């Protein structure tokens, strides 16, 4: 996909050392699967990792393809989504710094992934990663914890999709995004919204028009101040009350 120049002069050991340096200085280590791992485990992880950079709207994974790789998002934002034959789309997650891509994966990808903004990722071969589990059980534990966490978030989203009104969905969406950005130490006032209204709609089970109207309602109600590419939470308590349904 993204061709990498491979000068013959660089030997395999050099490449490995180079990735190790890159990982050692990685500023998202504390957020990703690397957190809390012993030094040796990191070195081995580094040796099998490939850094990727994706421009906005780049295709990273296509649903149904053999799942050879897993990824860690190190910067920017990507979306994972499912398509129906007639074009209906459900975005099952927006992933950002520290998120792991591929937890839900069997032998084939269950969703497509595209970048929202420009994004950076670390790619791992699934086989090589799973081979590391034998030597470094902490890695597998970390992945299981990430999977548990994602499952809990998925269940929150089910409640949203199955039972919440449009305004409640937008309120919940904004609060969740805010919390996530806080977790990774990103600025969240105003809250950046790198995704389009259409993407928000396909995440929340709505249409762009309904998303737009819901934003307007929240703005008129004094809960938020909304621009096109960002939003500010004005009344956190009120927004929470709305999001949770009374």
**Which residues form the interface with DNA (CB under 7 A)?**
165-167, 196-198, 205-213, 215-216, 226-229
Burial class of residue 69, CB neighbours in 10 A (0-12, 13-18, 19+)? buried
Query: Tokens for 219?
Result: 């703005």
Decide whether 147 or 198 has the Cβ nearer to DNA.
Answer: 198
What is the rounded CA–CA span in Å between residue 94 and residue 195? Answer: 9
Q: Counting contacts by CB under 8 A, is residue 179 touching its own copies?
A: no
Residue corresponding to tokens 């860690």? 72
Least separation in angstroms between CB 152 and DNA: 24
The only residue of 140, 181, 213, 219 in contact with its own copies, by rule CB under 8 A: 140
Q: Where are the beta strands (DSSP E) in the chain?
A: 49-54, 59-61, 69-75, 77-83, 89-96, 100-101, 112-115, 119-125, 191-192, 224-226, 230-233
Phi, psi (5° rounding) for residue 140?
-65, -40
CA distances from 103 to 127, 141, 226, 230 (A): 14, 13, 33, 29
The only residue of 155, 185, 209, 232 in contact with its own copies, by rule CB under 8 A: 155
The only residue of 50, 68, 105, 117 in contact with its own copies, by rule CB under 8 A: 105
Asked if 117 and 194 touch (Cβ cutoff 8 Å), the reply is yes
What is the rounded CA–CA span in Å between residue 238 and residue 134? Answer: 49
Decide whether 110 or 192 has the Cβ nearer to DNA.
Answer: 192
92: partner contacted, choices DNA, its own copies, none (Cβ within 5-8 A by kind) = its own copies
Site string for its own copies, 119-138 (x = CB under 8 A): --------------xx--x-
Least separation in angstroms between CB 77 and its own copies: 18
**Torsion angle of the four alpha carbons 59, 61, 62, 65, in this order, in degrees rounded to the nearest 10:** 150
Decide whether 14 or 153 has the Cβ nearer to its own copies.
Answer: 153
Decide whether 157 or 206 has the Cβ nearer to DNA.
Answer: 206
Q: Counting contacts by CB under 8 A, is residue 24 touching its own copies?
A: no
Least separation in angstroms between CB 164 and its own copies: 8
Question: Which residues are near its own copies by CB under 8 A?
Answer: 82, 84-86, 88-90, 92, 103-106, 110-111, 133-134, 137, 140-141, 143-144, 147-152, 154-159, 161-164, 202, 204-205, 244-246
């Amino acid at each position: 996909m993204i061709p990498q120049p491979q000068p013959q002069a660089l030997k395999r050991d050099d490449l490995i050392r180079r990735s190790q340096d890159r990982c050692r200085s990685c500023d998202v280590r504390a957020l990703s699967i690397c957190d809390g791992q012993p030094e040796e485990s990191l070195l081995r992880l580094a040796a099998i990792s490939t850094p990727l950079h994706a421009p906005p709207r780049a295709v990273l994974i296509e649903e149904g393809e053999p799942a050879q790789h897993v990824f860690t998002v190190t910067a920017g934002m990507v979306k994972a989504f499912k398509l129906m034959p007639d074009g209906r789309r459900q975005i099952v997650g927006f992933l950002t710094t520290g998120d792991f891509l591929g937890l839900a994966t069997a032998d084939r990808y269950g969703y497509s992934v595209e970048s929202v903004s420009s994004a950076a990722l670390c790619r791992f071969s699934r086989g090589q990663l799973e081979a590391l589990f034998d030597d470094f059980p902490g890695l597998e534990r970390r992945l299981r914890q990430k999977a548990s966490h994602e499952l809990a978030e998925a269940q929150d989203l089910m409640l949203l999709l199955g039972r919440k009104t449009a305004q409640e969905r937008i309120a919940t969406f904004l609060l969740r995004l805010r919390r996530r950005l806080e977790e990774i130490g990103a600025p969240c006032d105003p809250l950046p919204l790198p995704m389009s209204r259409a993407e928000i709609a396909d995440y929340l089970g709505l249409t762009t028009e309904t998303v737009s109207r819901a934003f307007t309602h929240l703005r008129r109600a004094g809960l938020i101040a909304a621009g096109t590419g960002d939003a500010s939470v004005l009344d956190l308590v009120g927004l929470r009350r709305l999001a949770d349904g009374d």
